[in-house]
Amino acid sequence: MSRTELDTRVRILQAAIDLLEAGDSHGVRMSDIAKRAGISRQAVYLHFATRAALLIAATRYVEDQKDTEARLRASRTATSGVERLDAYVEAWGNFIPEVHGVARALLAMKDTDAAAAEAWDNRMQAMREGCAAAIAALARDGMLTTEYGTEQAVDLLWTLLSVRNWEQLTIDCGWPQARYISTLKALARRTFVRAPSS
């Protein structure tokens, strides 16, 4: 891809993100993105064949800009399941406020917009993979509680770390971010880590 093509692609992605974060969930059309990027609608389609592909790429672009790989390093290099669980809760929990504008827009759109739903589901499945890795590490260490099967534990952790739960605690209830993280880490440990045998 040439430098000009790359610059155009970045302009398109940034235009999509700007519109999503502006909160006008009905205005994130290909024509609006093209106008915001200062290019033709056809030029947008040269880079992204579908609106869903563009929205997925935009969410991944945000993740790249926020360096999710670096954020997840502590979780991925953890030496124990408990350490991996703590690190994943902290990494994802601190990532949510940084991508909340885009997440909020996709959530608002997903029930009536197939492209937004696909973009949302794509990113939530990636997050679920992180939950599954943390639970698998606990199970490998023999530290996963016997109260839940592995899949059920993944379901619960995935739900616990949802954007909507973060919104409810930090926005609706006014919790400071630090309290949210410390509480979620403690709750995850109590829920998923096997109590030591007496």
What pTM did the predictor assign? 0.82
The stretch 7-15 carries a mean pLDDT of: 92
For domain 3-63, say whether CATH 2.40.10.10 is its number.
no
Q: Domain-by-domain residue ranges, the chain?
A: 3-63, 64-192
Instruction: Provide the pLDDT confidence category of residue 170 given band limits of 50, 70 and 90.
Output: very high
One of 1.10.260, 1.10.357, 1.10.3470, 1.10.20 is the CATH number of 64-192, namely 1.10.357
- Give the model's confidence band at 109: pLDDT under 50 very low, under 70 low, under 90 confident, else very high: confident
Average pLDDT over residues 144-167: 96
Q: How far is CA 58 from CA 87, 127, 172, in A?
A: 26, 16, 27
DSSP assignment of 159-196, as one string? HHT-HHHHIIIIIIS---HHHHHHHHHHHHHHHHBPPP
User: How far is the C-alpha of 35 from the C-alpha of 151, rounded, in Å?
Assistant: 45
DSSP letter, residue 33: H
Amino acid 198: pLDDT: 53
Tens of pLDDT, residue by residue over 19-53, are 888 865 555 788 999 999 999 999 999 999 988 88
pLDDT of residue 87: 97
